[in-house]
Amino acid sequence: ALQEKDFIGRSQEQANLTKRVLQADSGQAQSVVLSGQHGIGKTELLKHLFGRLFWKQDRVAPFWYTVNPALLSVTAFSKNYLVRFICQRLAFTKKDQSFFYHDGISIDGLSTLVEEREAFWAKEILDQYLQCSGDPVDALRIALAAPHRSMLSTGIPVAVLIDDFHWIKGLHIGGVPDHRLASLFQEPMAHGKTPHVISGNMAELQEIPVVSGLERIQVHPLGPEAISSMVLSLLNAHEAEGIVPPLLIRQLGGNPYYLGCIVTRACEKNNPGEKYF
């Protein structure tokens, strides 16, 4: 994620999301989907939410997951999802981010790791996952339920933050995508102590029934003051000076990604010239 000083104009959104997620402590949190145009800052908002939850409180454990379109077979997805969750959950317990780098660990290696850490709740989940590994759908159910099962065992709720969720439409067994597999997220999302915060391509997310029923949180364009601060921050990062023409700012519609691309391109030493720019 961007450093907080460079993540401009989102303090209210961050505060609101954090407050919502921490309601999981009392079992009252609800799953939501972040809505907004491409580049408006949904992914960065999720990243900062994860950072806040990981470092600045101990009531709700955060789990960050980005859906990888290269891992959409049910077998590959369930293993990757489960391994990442357990590693991040162990990291939260010790506030030790070195656990993040165990993402590629095998199930056997992870089993050894959780035994060393005496994380008996994780061992139970892994044992059940291994017992059901012959049935891809059952294995997927166990992986998706892991945050809730960990909560039942440890008493600590889990906030599940998933980016690029639209790729879930491609989950498949044997190479044939089955849109019904995405419905397996419905039960985990319904628990008040395991709220899910979903982000991705909004047009495609609307086609996924399990998402279409969630409350939407709109991520709005940046306002004039935030845009000005962001321009100064970007220019300082490039050791450059100048302004972005107001007409161009209006044309970009307060989109931080587009603005960042423009300023970065303008600051390049080998800029091909004003006409191209």
Residues 181-203: pLDDT tens digits? 999 999 999 999 999 999 999 99
Q: Name the one residue in this structure whose structure tokens are 């970007």.
A: 234
Average pLDDT over residues 100-105: 79
DSSP codes, 152-211 = HHHS--EEEEEESGGGGGG-EETTEE-GGGGGGGHHHHH-TTS-EEE-S-HHHHTT-HHH
130-155 pLDDT, tens digit each = 999 899 999 999 999 999 999 999 99
Where does residue 2 rank: exposed (0-12), middle (13-18), buried (19+ CB within 10 A)? middle
Stretch among 1-10, 67-76, 92-101, 255-264 having the lowest mean pLDDT: 1-10
Average pLDDT over residues 109-125: 92
